Amino acid sequence: MKDIPNYCLKSLNTFKIDVNADRFISFDNLYEFLLFAKENKNIFKQKFIVTGEGSNLLFTKDFNGTVIHPETNIFGILKETDTHYIVQSEAGLKWDDFVDETLKLRAYGLENLSLIPGTVGASVVQNIGAYGVEVGDFVDKIKYICLEEFVIKTITGEDCGFSYRNSIFKNELKNKAIVVAVDFKLKKKPECNTNYADIQSYVADNVPVTPMFIRDVVIKIRNKKLPDPDIIGNAGSFFKNPVIDKLQFDDLLIKFSDLRYYDLHNGKYKIAAAWLIDVCGFKGFEHKGAAVHENQALVLINKLGQAKGQDIKELADIIQNKVQAKFGLILEPEVIIL
């Protein structure tokens, strides 16, 4: 375990913002940390955050609180039935390493979520999703430290309230839980999801579609469209795709016949925020050291690594205002702004 005052967070956020935290605590042994947490309960009565790789955070100033960073990363098959494996991973394991390992174990389902930055713990808090798949669909159980009783509790996937980029950990259990391990229910028989248009375009008649094939395709698509956070600071999609009802949708479609959207088949429509931003002419737009990515308008970047968090926040505000003025839609940040 590490417990360090005045800690630089530059390597702990993928925007590569140079800020400090008052205190930084990391741990690679859950029970050692649990004991420490029980004896230092005051930490959790003050400001704190739990971070994985910081791939969904924007620091606009120093963090006057404690950063908790799980580094536990053991994984393995917990259970096997005729049709499924239950694969458990501790929270600190890098998400994409975990996806890769599940495929090596011949445990299928997560392949569409390849190459998403972040850790296993963060994946369920955020309910990460890509190419027609969301992680919540595969969660069997989650173990977390309850910060009211300082014991480890278990919650089932059904009780996690998963929805688009949302879970119980962002709502009822916000600041009350630290995810420490996730059990995923993965299939023995592959059922490849190739519905997403980007993936479809790689599927040819004579190529067998396997989970490894999907993983390779997703990696290709992401590498082409999304900047590598190790090279250009970014946090993936900066905003969520707005979800609107039919009345508002019909009205928009009349005005913008080339609107990009997904029918959610529940009377709601998800509008492609990237398209809204793109149509406003923002691709490549720069504000101080921050910019809109040239290939994916939903991604804001720290172009030369010199931008301050506040510069990126200002760019986000400019985009939000323009999109609201043009389309009457409010873009909600997906990234947590601190």
237 catalytic, yes or no?
yes
Catalytic residue among 165, 167, 215, 222: 165
Number of residues this chain uses to bind ligand EPU (CB under 6 A): 17
167 is catalytic: no
DSSP string for 256-310: -TT--EEE-SSSEEEE-HHHHHHHTT-TT-EETTEEE-SS-TTEEEETTS---HH
> Is residue 269 a contact point for ligand EPU (CB under 6 A)?
no
Which helix (H) or strand (E) segment is 200 a member of? helix 197-200
Closer residue to ligand EPU, CB minimum distance, 41 or 224: 224
Stretch that binds ligand EPU, among 90-98, 141-149, 185-193, 293-301 (CB under 6 A): 293-301
Q: Does 327 bind ligand EPU (CB under 6 A)?
A: no
60 CA to centre of own chain = 19
Q: Please say which residue, 124 or 274, places its beta carbon nearer to ligand EPU.
A: 274
HEC secondary structure over 47-65 = CEEECCCCCCEECCCCEEE
Q: Which of 30, 297, 300, 338 binds ligand EPU (CB under 6 A)?
A: 297
Q: Does 214 bind ligand EPU (CB under 6 A)?
A: no
Positive or negative: CA dihedral 131, 75, 188, 121: negative
Count of beta carbons in the 10 Å neighbourhood of residue 292: 27
CA distance 66 to 43: 7
Give CA–CA dist 216/153, Å, rounded.
36
Pick one of 114, 194, 241, 302: the residue that binds ligand EPU (CB under 6 A): 241
Minimum distance, C-beta of residue 50 to ligand EPU, in the bound complex (Å): 19
Residue 39 catalytic? no
In sequence order, the 6+-apart residues with CB closer than 8 A to the CB of 336 are 56, 57, 58
Query: Residue 173 or residue 279: which is nearer to ligand EPU going by CB?
Result: 279
Note whether 137 binds ligand EPU by CB under 6 A: no
Binder among 90, 121, 334, 338 for ligand EPU (CB under 6 A): 334
Region binding ligand EPU by CB under 6 A among candidate stretches 43-51, 93-101, 185-193, 292-300: 292-300
Residues that bind ligand EPU (CB under 6 A): 130-131, 198, 236-237, 240-241, 260, 272, 274-275, 278, 283, 296-298, 334
